[in-house]
Amino acid sequence: MTIRKSDNTDMNKQNNLLVPYFSQNDETIPSEWHNRACGITCLAMALAYYDLDKTKISDLIDEGLLIDGYTDGIGWKHECLVRIFRNKGLHSYAEEFRAVDVDLVNKKFKTGTFESQLAQSGVEKITHEIDRKRPVIVSMHPAFRDNEDGHLVVLIGYEGNPTDPSGFHFHDPDSRFSEGNDLYMDRQHFNMYWRKFAIFSRQLHQI
């Protein structure tokens, strides 16, 4: 499993979306939010890519709080990030590619029979969106990189086949310990840590 800096050995790097990079640890962001602003910072990167909004990240945080978008101990609600995207003039929605099998007798559940198929459809949808020049925000499990909690990153490109990519190029808003821009993770790392949630966005005139 690998996370590294994107480099010229990556065959498709030249096709990466030119998404501006912002850090959630920037001095313009209140320090009390440095460990909690990944979702809003990813949103700001996407907005800058679409060139739709110049709102400061600190103001986006305030907007998110005003619409009850943050839960202590959990983080930013995906529906809040979607709502802010819409507030700024984008079509947006969150999608989950998970399933469970429910045992009603014993009142238990486990990973669903169809989850692997759903996850594969999610990967194909992500590559399709990137091919349409649309960055995708994805949710990752703790320990994905340096994070102790769940984390959000922006996918900006991929390597290999769109139906079976070998890995993804991404921006990680957390730059506390190392650079977060223009990184690459192989497919094994993505499969292990992706929470199977994604946030999609597109301009209003796009189909």
Q: What is the pLDDT of residues 182-201, one digit of tens each?
A: 999 999 999 999 999 999 99
Architecture of domain 3-203: Alpha-Beta Complex (3.90)
Q: Show me where the domains of the chain are located.
A: 3-203
Is residue 199 within 8 A of residue 140, CB to CB? The reply is no
Contact 124, 163 (CB under 8 A): yes
Please give the backbone phi and psi of residue 191, each rounded to the nearest 5 degrees, phi first. Answer: -60, -35
Strands in 90-96's sheet, in edge-to-edge order, are: 3-5, 183-186, 164-171, 151-161, 136-140, 194-203, 90-96
Lowest-pLDDT range of 28-37, 108-117, 166-175 = 108-117
- Write the pLDDT tens digit of every residue in 61-103: 999 999 999 998 888 999 999 999 999 999 999 999 987 767 6
